Amino acid sequence: MLAAAARRAGTASTEYDMPPGCLALRRALARRALDWGVKILPEEIITTCGCTEAIVLCLRSVTRSGDTVAIESPTYFGLIQIIEQLGLRPLEIPTHPRTGMDLDGLERALRVRRVTACLVVPNFNNPLGSLMPVANKARLVALLAKKEIPLIEDDLYGDLYFDNGDRPHVAKAYDKRGLVMLCGSFSKSLAPGYRVGWMMPGRYFEAARNLKCATTGATPRCRSLLSRITSSTADMIII
Ligand SMILES: Cc1ncc(COP(=O)(O)O)c(C=O)c1O
CATH number for the domain harbouring residue 182: 3.40.640.10
Q: Measure 6 CA to ligand 1 centroid, in angstroms.
A: 27
pLDDT at 235 over 70: no
Q: Measure 11 CA to ligand 1 centroid, in angstroms.
A: 30
pLDDT at 234 over 50: no
Q: Which of 51, 160, 198 to mutate to test the pocket of ligand 1 (most atoms within 8 A of CB)?
A: 51
Count the domains in the chain: 1
Side-by-side strand order, sheet with 89-96: 46-49, 196-200, 180-185, 151-154, 117-120, 68-73, 89-96, 100-101
In-domain check, residue 10:
no
Computed on alpha carbons and rounded to an integer, the radius of gyration of the chain in Å comes to 17
In-domain check, residue 162:
yes
Q: CA quadruple 95, 100, 105, 107: dihedral positive or negative?
A: positive
In-domain check, residue 28:
yes
DSSP string over 9-56: HGGGGGS---TT--HHHHHHHHHHHGGGT----GGG-EEEEHHHHHHH
Q: Quickly state the pLDDT bin for 1 (edges 50, 70, 90).
A: confident
In-domain check, residue 40:
yes
- Residue 237: its pLDDT value, please? 36
Over the stretch 94-149, which tens digit does the pLDDT of each residue have? Answer: 999 999 999 999 999 999 999 999 999 999 999 999 999 999 999 999 999 999 99
pLDDT at 225 over 90: no
Over the stretch 29-64, which tens digit does the pLDDT of each residue have? Answer: 999 999 999 999 999 999 999 999 999 999 999 999
In-domain check, residue 4:
no
In-domain check, residue 1:
no
Q: CB under 6 Å to ligand 1: residues?
A: 50-52, 76, 78, 121, 126, 154, 156, 185, 187, 192, 197
Work out which ligand 1 atom sits closest to the CA atom of 185.
Answer: 10
pTM for the whole structure: 0.92
In-domain check, residue 9:
no
In-domain check, residue 208:
yes
Work out which ligand 1 atom sits closest to the CA atom of 154.
Answer: 3
The range of the structural domain enclosing residue 187 comes to: 17-238
